[in-house]
Each structure stands twice: as C-alpha cells, then as structure tokens.
Amino acid sequence: MDHHDLIVIGSGPAGRRAAIQAAKLGKSVCVVEKGRRVGGVSVHTGTIPSKTLRETALNLSGWRERGFYGRAYRVKENLSADDLRERLHITLNHEVEVLEHQFARNRVDTIKGEAKFIAEKKISVQGEDGEIIELTADKFLLTVGTKPFRPKDYPFDGKTFLDSDEILDLVNLPRSIAIIGAGVIGVEYATIFNALDVHVTLIEPRDSMLDFVDKELISDFTYQLRDRGMILRFGKKVEKVKKLDGAGCQIDMEDGRSIKSDMVLFAAGRMGATDSLGLENCGIECDHRGRISVNANTFETSVNGIYAAGDVIGFPSLASTSMEQGRIAACHAFGEKAHEPPEYFPYGIYAVPEISTIGMTEEEVNERNIPYECGIARFRETSRGHIMGLETGMLKMIFSLKTRRLLGCHIVGEGATELIHVGQAVINLGGTLEYFVENTFNYPTLAEAYKIAALDAWNKMPH
Ligand SMILES: Cc1cc2nc3c(=O)[nH]c(=O)nc-3n(C[C@H](O)[C@H](O)[C@H](O)COP(=O)(O)OP(=O)(O)OC[C@H]3O[C@@H](n4cnc5c(N)ncnc54)[C@H](O)[C@@H]3O)c2cc1C
C-alpha cells in the first residue's frame, strides 16, 4: 500500500498551495482529485470561469467603451453562448496545464478518483473505472471545497433552471433571467448578464445585498444597477418556483407577485462537499452546511494530524484566502514556522462594476465609537477617468481622527480589485493620511483617486 507524508484531498487553491509547500519542505505528497482535471472549483466552475466569462462579455459587448460611444455601442452584434464559451476553454486549459506542470516540477503525485476515509489515517480512492486503491499518510489535508446548495423542491434541469456550476454550460443566451440570491455569486452573474443585454431580475429575501460592504458603496452600486434597467426584488421570499409548459420558469413571491423568465439561476448558498468523505471513519464532525471546524491559527481539525482548509471550513471562502490557509496548514503539519496573515485581507467582487474593499466599513467604525473622517473621490475627477470615458466609480477612505491612520478603503468601479492593493498596503503597514498627501502618483491613473480622496479627508480634518 502507498504511504505518503501528506495526502491532500482536493486540488483547488488550498490543496494545491499546501501540496507545493509540503513538497518544498522535502515531503512526499499525494493529491487526490475526483474531478476530470486538477484545479478545483476555482479553475473549473468558480473563480476563473466566471471571471473569464465576465472579461469576454465586457470585451465583446464593448461595455467599457459605452461611456464614450453611448449605450447602444456594441463590438459584436448578436453575441452567442458559443462566443462566451470559446475563451473559457482556452483559459481553463491554460490554467490546468500550469498547475499540472507545477505538480510535476515539485514531484507531487496526483491520483484521479474520489477519496473516502476508511480509518483515521487511511483512505480509499475509487477511480472512474470503479477500481479502488487504499492509501495511508502521516498527515491529511481536507480541501474538498463546496458544491452549490440545491433545495429539493426546486426544478433543477440543467437547461432552464440552473445552479452556478451549470450556468457555465449554457447553450443559448436567454432573453431574460431571474437570479435567486444576491450574494457575491448572484450579483456577479446578474451584472454580467445585464451587460450582455439580458433582462435581469435579482431576487433576495433580505432587504439589501452584500451586507459586509460599506453601505455608501452599496447605495452607489444599487443606483447603477437600477439605472441600467435591472430589477431588484429585495425583502420578499420566494414562495414557489415552477417550469412553464411552453418555455421558461415562473417564480411566485410571498407578496403574491410573480416573475416570469426564460431562465432561473439559483445562487443562494453552497454546502461543504463532505457528505461522501467518510468523515465518521476518522472522527471528524461537520455542521449542518457540511463545514468542518478547525483551529483558526493552524487549520488542524479536532483530530490530530488531519487538517482542513479552503471553502470547506467556511468564511471567507475565497480562492485568495484558501491558498494562504493551505500554505499555513502544510507548514504547521511539518513543524515549519509560518507567519500569520495580517488582520485585514481584500475582498474582491467581480460584478460589473467591480467592488473591492479592505478594513473597516463606516458602519463598523461607528459601532466601535472610533472618531473618524472620510475622504471620497469619483473616478470622473481623474484625468485617466476622462480618457477612459468613465461616468461612474468611487473610492472612499476612512481615517482615524486620533491617529490619522487608514482604517478602511472601499472602491466601486473599473479596476477596483487591482486598485485596492494600494489601500491594503497602507492599512496593513499602519500608514496614515499623510502617505497619500505626500507621495506622488503616476499621472494619469485611476490610482490618483487615492490622492484626491485623501485630500478630501485632509480638508475636513484638524491640522
Ligand atoms: C461562481 C464562483 C465565483 C467565485 N469567484 C471568486 C473570486 O472571484 N475570487 C475568489 O477569491 N474566490 C472566488 N470564488 C471562491 C473560490 O472559487 C473558492 O474560494 C475556492 O475555489 C476554494 O478553494 P478550495 O481549495 O477550498 O477548493 P475548491 O476549489 O472548492 O476545490 C475542491 C476540490 O476538491 C475535490 N473533491 C471534493 N471531494 C473530493 C473527494 N472526496 N475526493 C477527491 N476530490 C474531492 C473537488 O472535485 C474539487 O476539485 C468563487 C466561487 C464561485 C462558485
């Protein structure tokens, strides 16, 4: 029977980073992956495909040029689902190749098949052909991720009523789509479809969306969505959903109103992919959403030598943070010191427009009774914004009145997920308002918005 120092179950961002880290420490590592190819949700159904789809939609629709040439501007008329898929396959193949090469270079073994614990430090792996092998290891890392939550009484059919994995296999672009769930995934797809001229209704039982984002940004974002013709049905629950005889679906809301659309995307939550992992055989328990609890510093589970990282442990469920968790878990497993990540990490929402945020929101600063001042810049105040024809986009910074330190940075608009890293560096290095006022920024750039926002705060603060 094969024995390794570390077996990693799942080859998403957490698993792959952990495997490489352990291999670099000289350990023998095996990654077990049940999918057709390595890469995880991140490469095959989540991060990379949705971002590639977004990029393709923005490029082919001419979205970024509409500020200049008007809302009727299109690069390609009659965009089809094939147009969207073409770039997707090329990007995914490239990502997988890079990953396979990385594993090969670092001598990480990969085995294709579904892993299941049969004892505390022993798994069976069943391949596609049904053959079963058994493997043991000193340490295990569970990076099995999540799968879409699918309520039993909803008519999922992979064609007109879909979850967020199935949406990538779209055969035809619908004329209208209703999206249930205004979390990150729902909002991203809603705005992408809207940019493709699909009529979008976004449904959310809560009164608002993306509650962890600064409210001022959300109200700016919400205004933009409504201005583009998106319908937001917030604050009401879905009572019933059914497929219609002709074509399409109908969603009945609790207030008696109904929404008819060609297609429905259900994007309200995901579950830890732990149901068939045989966790009962190694003594690990999950919560009602299939998530595993770990020590927040080491990522070790309740069972010595078995670690878990990535989406299967819950918040923040990002590819970016999953990678760091995997690396720290591998270091801890083999007694290597790993630095702890800083308190604040950036959150990127690849909606159209992008939102990105780090540090405290204005609501959090208020709750903590911290005296503060805000500075705001609009992208249209920058020369780069004029060149790009940007009508929207804002950057908001929150500074402590006592220490003048940057407490939070929040951006909605073109390039927000890249721009945020300036704010991230200043926050995590303990920088103050003076950093932005005293430093020179490239001109013309959108990053100049930092200086404009800082000067806005500076003008309001005591000197
Ligand atoms: C639509 C969508 C968009 C997203 N966009 C972003 C984004 O823009 N930025 C960002 O940072 N994050 C984004 N995410 C989140 C990101 O994809 C996840 O945080 C990340 O993929 C989690 O990585 P992971 O290591 O936990 O494993 P995952 O990527 O979830 O992969 C888990 C792997 O484990 C395998 N597996 C499961 N069970 C077994 C088993 N028993 N045996 C063998 N293999 C098994 C699965 O086949 C899968 O390949 C998005 C997610 C979705 C769904």
Q: What is the mean pLDDT of each run of 10 residues along the chain (463 residues)?
A: 93 98 98 96 94 92 83 79 87 95 97 97 94 97 97 93 93 95 97 95 97 97 96 96 91 96 96 97 96 96 98 96 97 92 93 98 98 98 95 97 98 98 98 97 98 98 88
Task: Residue 418: name the closest of 315, 346, 329, 362 by CA.
Answer: 346
Ligand 1 atom closest to the CA of 145, numbered from 1: 30
Tokens encoding 177: 């789509």
Query: For atom 53 of ligand 1, which residue has the closest CA?
Result: 46
Do residues 144 and 53 lie in contact, with contact meaning Cβ atoms separated by under 8 Å? no
Ligand 1 pocket mutation, candidates 55, 144, 265, criterion most atoms within 8 A of CB: 144
Residue 1: the pLDDT is 59
Q: Which residues contact 23 (CB under 8 A, 6 or more apart)?
A: 29, 106, 107, 108
* Whether the CB of 42 sits within 6 Å of ligand 1: yes
Torsion of CA 58, 60, 61, 64, to 10 degrees: 50
* Whether the CB of 9 sits within 6 Å of ligand 1: yes
Q: How many Cα atoms sit within 13 Å of 55 on the Cβ side?
A: 12
Q: Ligand 1 mean position to 319 CA, how many Å?
A: 7
Residue 231: the pLDDT is 97
Centroid of chain to Cα 340:
22
Residue 245: the pLDDT is 87
